Amino acid sequence: MNLMMSLDWVLLITMSLAFCQQLFSKKFNFFGVLSLLSLATYIAFHSYSTGLSIFILLLFIGGIALIGLEMFIPGGIVGAVGVITLVYAIIYVNKSTYYIAFILVISLILAVILYYVNRNVFHKKLMFLDRLVLNDSISTEDGYVASESRLELLGQKLIAYTDLRPAGVAILENEKLDVVTDGDFIEKGNKIEVIRVEGMRIVVKKI
């Protein structure tokens, strides 16, 4: 195994493990920098040996940009395209396509093992992604109450002020309230009852 092949193993495995570890940190830190530096070094070495390609440079910059954009447009699609772009750049820049694909598979397996250890042994959470995705449900049963939660309305009898399709307006004495059914259609003027209050969401049913 020559020096370049040894570097491929070290750089790509380091990139994968560092990226995995970054996911368990709140902020972009040493692991994120190490992952990027490993990838950049890999691309630089192979670009130097084969000649710098504008196409590879664009793939590299584009992949990083898409992954960064995922922080502002959560959903996973943009980030997935960015990862695929980088993987393509890694394989494209290397003359030994099957060999480098094998290293990537091994790197992925090691990253999955590290992910499993972090989640199940050290009980860590994906802190880096938690800033982008709301994973926790909020309900009154769990003790969360919105500042305008109307728990006192539970069991109250209201009148449908508008058709509920399923959302609409109901009236309690002289107060108009935004309410919603569990999917049923209720015509204006029908008597309704509050069956649940979930934060600011008032759920009703026809009496």
What domains, with CATH codes, occur in the chain? Answer: 3-130 (no CATH), 142-206 (2.40.50.140)
Please write down the HEC assignment for all residues of the chain.
Answer: CCHHHHHHHHHHHHHHHHHHHHCCCCCCCHHHHHHHHHHHHHHHHHHHHHCCCHHHHHHHHHHHHHHHHCCCCCCCHHHHHHHHHHHHHHHHCCCCHHHHHHHHHHHHHHHHHHHHHHHHHCCCCCHHHHCCCCCCCCCHHHCCCCCCCCHHHCCCEEEECCCECCEEEEEECCEEEEEECCCCCECCCCEEEEEEEECCEEEEEEC
**pLDDT tens readout for residues 126-135:** 776 554 444 4
**pLDDT tens readout for residues 81-91:** 888 998 888 88
Give the percent of the chain with pLDDT over 70: 84
**pLDDT tens readout for residues 154-206:** 999 999 999 998 899 999 988 899 999 988 899 999 999 999 998 888 999 99
